[in-house]
Amino acid sequence: MLHAGLEGEGRLTVTENDTAASVGSGSLRVFATPAMAALMEKTALDSVAPFLEEGATTVGTALDIRHIAATPVGMAVTCRSTLTAVENRRLVFSLSVSDEYGLIGEGTHERFIVEAAKFQRKAETKADRERNGK
């Protein structure tokens, strides 16, 4: 059952594909803010997935983060999430990301529980309308 206090953890080792230079968010070979954001969202998603009803998933709707310190290629990073609020289908998480030298990022993230197939159909209908001239 979903409840405030539920925790999750995600890890990755920074590769060239995760750098600001590679993703286009900067020119340096350091862990990119968009890559950190993706790790944060994935950690939150994975932490609640086992507790969802069959056919349900969560989608990210808000992300408020700070990237505090740089991490070079080859270094491991760990994200920790804590579910701080459950309000019907709305989930709120507190997140922190660290490398072996300490905190590199933190923030909050909001996700909503949705029926996966229905959500996907709605998105595809939108794409069909666009292709067919609305």
Q: Which residues are catalytic?
A: 33, 41, 67
Positive or negative, the Cα torsion across 58, 63, 65, 71? Answer: positive
Max alpha carbon distance in the chain (Å)? Answer: 53
C-beta of residue 64 within 8 angstroms of C-beta of residue 31: no
C-beta of residue 54 within 8 angstroms of C-beta of residue 111: no
C-beta of residue 73 within 8 angstroms of C-beta of residue 16: yes
